[in-house]
Chains A and B, each alone.
Chain A
């Protein structure tokens, strides 16, 4: 556990290495999934291509959607996209930034799956075994003697060594080597192309839209942090609400019971005991409620938060000391900075 905590701490030490860490983990998970998967070519002329295309394309789609779903910020993006403008204008650049960074991270696992599938070669072999140039690789003179469906049926069995019976026409090893070589070449080209694209996007961006990029990054962090803080404040409020509600209930029960008793035997009880003093800490809880003390008010607050977010303008509480750099007391210890590192 200690080792994991340290690795996690190292990866979290800055945003960049955390993102690299996540990318590495997703790539490993995808590669591991592929190696655990048991590829099983049907070796039938019509079905080979469909099966291979399915294996090459369906899991990447699933992995991409999974990557989006598991990212908590998808709901944040959707919320920001669909909220009514209210008193706070919407910035499409921020939405684009959030979507791009989420999509980039979600694309890693599919890319790794496709690359590993092509480099392994079984999928390609299964899909294109009927398209092997028999005249070049095998005994070309015997090929015209077979009708195309016969030839296709024969070649479709190349991926399955136990049922292949065409060694007189084309040695199985030759066909397998040929197709795997092409598959691996395609795989490496795909890897090269993707890394080149990623490199170009990352390096060329500072040349064009750096100022807009800084703004989008800041505001997307802000939206993420604001949402977390709002949820935290609501949780605190709910806790305080519950505590006060329960205290009041007990007080009321206590009051009722005492009234019941005084009706009976203790008619001369001192007046002071009728209303017991609230316990210490009750005042703190009431303050945490910030004046929102009934269900209707809470519902109104939450509706208002969604429909009409407050404007991004805090107003000057007091004139800035000197020239804006309010360098008041010593800098407080950074207690919660890392907890609010946005994952966008």
Chain B
């Protein structure tokens, strides 16, 4: 249990770790999907190549799109790309960085599928059995070309009566599997070398620019999450006060109608002035959450302005439309770095 807890905490520690976690999960799902998929080569002349290549390429494409879908940062990137400039200029370098990080993570699951398919060999055998050169194998010497083609098309199907227990079939199958595995391992080696070189050589080029871009892309992601969180808190407080107002209004309405005269003797309490402070744990904190945004029009205006004109990345600038920076600074100071990013429930 301890190691699960440590693992989960590690993956939640930053948005990059969360994305890595999702990427690994998708790779594991791919392995399971491949092993549970029932491969079924048609063993017919034209269909083999279509089926084999289709199975080698279509699921990776679908998995790539799934990887993009499951990654929150792809949406954040498109939002950052399409937002109006407003007070905050756009840096194409950040968008490129986010794009490349999203693409790298989304490519993991498709590559796992392709490598599994190649190392397993069934796809390759199915796709290329008809394209094998019969001259390489002595067993085909005394068969007509059409017979050879028919035979080769049935090579992937071990149980077919034409090719059952045939040494020629086994020879072709072994040859193709060997080729498939060689290609699979070569691709694996190439990818690992590329990843290694990419990792080692990157500090040689533009390290400072890279660090800046990584910082700001993380920032954009976190800012979006915090904005959503703040909107949720605001909605909660808005709703709370709305409901309390409603109860208080009903009470005053009924008092106005004189409907409490029969209960006034039984409830000798002083008339409660309908105050929005009722029920809130600390009026100051409630007001702080609402931040003077208390009507539908104000909320709509806030959200439109957030979209069309994000505030500049300058916490000490003179107060403009967004008022004092003190609030932001204050929040930044009171939120401890480790806890601000995760949203553990403090029940």
Q: Mark A211-246, 1 if CB is under 8 A from B, else 0.
A: 100110011011001100110010001000000000
Assess A119 versus B37: contact at CB under 8 Å? Given A10-B8, A14-B343, A181-B47: yes
Assess A20 versus B70: contact at CB under 8 Å? Given A10-B12, A171-B161: yes
Shortest distance between the CB of A159 and any CB in chain B (Å): 15
A79 to B306, CA, bound (A): 30
For residue B326, CB closer than 8 A to chain A, the reply is: yes
For residue A120, CB closer than 8 A to chain B, the reply is: yes
A32 to B343, CA, bound (A): 32
Do residues B40 and A181 form an inter-chain contact, with CB atoms below 8 A? yes
Do residues B246 and A211 form an inter-chain contact, with CB atoms below 8 A? no
Chain A 7-46 residues near chain B, CB threshold 8 A: 7, 9-10, 12-17, 20
For residue A70, CB closer than 8 A to chain B, the reply is: no
Q: Mark A98-136, 1 if CB is under 8 A from B, else 0.
A: 000000000000000000000111000000000000000
For residue B323, CB closer than 8 A to chain A, the reply is: yes
Do residues B68 and A199 form an inter-chain contact, with CB atoms below 8 A? yes
Indicate which residue in B251, B294, B323, B345 contacts A292 across the interface (CB closer than 8 Å).
B251
Indicate which residue in B79, B231, B263 contacts A210 across the interface (CB closer than 8 Å).
B79
Indicate which residue in B247, B255, B291, B319 contacts A301 across the interface (CB closer than 8 Å).
B247
Most chain A Cβ neighbours within 10 Å, of B59, B157, B287: B287
Indicate which residue in A191, A283, A331 contacts B285 across the interface (CB closer than 8 Å).
A331
Indicate which residue in A188, A192, A229, A334 contacts B243 across the interface (CB closer than 8 Å).
A229
A105 to B263, CA, bound (A): 50
Shortest distance between the CB of A19 and any CB in chain B (Å): 10
Q: Which residues of A contact B299 (CB under 8 A)?
A: 215, 218-219, 312
Residue of B whose beta carbon sits closest to that of A199: B65
Assess A323 versus B324: contact at CB under 8 Å? Given A310-B242, A331-B335: yes
Shortest distance between the CB of A195 and any CB in chain B (Å): 4
Do residues B254 and A291 form an inter-chain contact, with CB atoms below 8 A? yes
Indicate which residue in B74, B278, B346 contacts A203 across the interface (CB closer than 8 Å).
B74
Do residues B304 and A338 form an inter-chain contact, with CB atoms below 8 A? no
Do residues A9 and B42 form an inter-chain contact, with CB atoms below 8 A? no
Chain B 221-268 residues near chain A, CB threshold 8 A: 225, 228-229, 231-233, 235-236, 238-251, 254-255, 259-260, 263, 266-267
A75 to B240, CA, bound (A): 21
Do residues A199 and B69 form an inter-chain contact, with CB atoms below 8 A? yes
Indicate which residue in B65, B254, B328 contacts A195 across the interface (CB closer than 8 Å).
B65
Do residues A177 and B303 form an inter-chain contact, with CB atoms below 8 A? no
Assess A3 versus B334: contact at CB under 8 Å? Given A192-B58, A325-B323: no
Q: Mark A240-272, 1 if CB is under 8 A from B, else 0.
A: 000000001000000000000000000000000
Indicate which residue in A185, A248, A313, A335 contacts B295 across the interface (CB closer than 8 Å).
A313
Q: Mark B37-48, 1 if CB is under 8 A from A, else 0.
A: 110111110010
Do residues B231 and A248 form an inter-chain contact, with CB atoms below 8 A? no
Residue of B whose beta carbon sits closest to that of A231: B243
Do residues A305 and B319 form an inter-chain contact, with CB atoms below 8 A? no
Q: Which residues of B contact A214 (CB under 8 A)?
A: 303-304, 306-307
Assess A312 versus B296: contact at CB under 8 Å? Given A6-B8, A180-B40, A338-B343: yes
A283 to B275, CA, bound (A): 18
Residue of B whose beta carbon sits closest to that of A2: B1
Assess A230 versus B238: contact at CB under 8 Å? Given A210-B83, A211-B304, A323-B324: no
Do residues A324 and B291 form an inter-chain contact, with CB atoms below 8 A? yes
Q: Mark A257-295, 1 if CB is under 8 A from B, else 0.
A: 000000000000000000000000001001100111110
Assess A312 versus B242: contact at CB under 8 Å? Given A14-B225, A325-B291, A331-B334: yes
Assess A188 versus B62: contact at CB under 8 Å? Given A173-B159, A222-B235: yes
Interface residues on chain A, number (Cβ under 8 Å): 97
Shortest distance between the CB of B167 and any CB in chain A (Å): 21
Assess A3 versus B1: contact at CB under 8 Å? Given A215-B303, A329-B284: yes
Assess A291 versus B255: contact at CB under 8 Å? Given A325-B291, A332-B282: yes
Residue of A whose beta carbon sits closest to that of B263: A293
A15 to B231, CA, bound (A): 13
For residue B141, CB closer than 8 A to chain A, the reply is: no
Assess A222 versus B238: contact at CB under 8 Å? Given A287-B272, A324-B291: yes
Shortest distance between the CB of A253 and any CB in chain B (Å): 16
A294 to B263, CA, bound (A): 9
For residue A73, CB closer than 8 A to chain B, the reply is: no
For residue A139, CB closer than 8 A to chain B, the reply is: no
Shortest distance between the CB of A50 and any CB in chain B (Å): 25
Indicate which residue in A181, A188, A211 contacts B308 across the interface (CB closer than 8 Å).
A211
What residues of chain B have their CB less than 8 Å away from a CB belonging to chain A? 1, 4-5, 8, 11-12, 18, 22, 37-38, 40-44, 47, 50-51, 54-55, 58-59, 61-62, 65-66, 68-70, 72, 74-75, 78-79, 81-83, 157, 159-161, 225, 228-229, 231-233, 235-236, 238-251, 254-255, 259-260, 263, 266-267, 269, 271-272, 275-276, 278, 281-282, 284-285, 287-288, 290-292, 294-296, 299-300, 303-304, 306-308, 319, 323-324, 326-328, 330-331, 334-335, 342-347
Given A120-B38, A291-B254, 16 additional A-B pairs, CB 8 A: A10-B12, A174-B44, A191-B58, A195-B69, A202-B69, A206-B78, A215-B300, A225-B239, A226-B239, A290-B247, A291-B250, A310-B246, A311-B295, A324-B292, A336-B347, A339-B347
Please list the 9 inter-chain residue pairs (A to B) with the smallest Cβ-Cβ separation, ordered nearest first.
Answer: A325-B327, A291-B251, A323-B323, A312-B296, A314-B294, A338-B345, A226-B239, A181-B42, A313-B295
Listed by A's residue number, 15 A-B pairs whose Cβ atoms lie within 8 Å are A10-B11, A17-B22, A184-B51, A188-B58, A191-B62, A206-B79, A210-B82, A221-B232, A301-B247, A314-B295, A324-B324, A325-B324, A327-B330, A336-B236, A340-B236
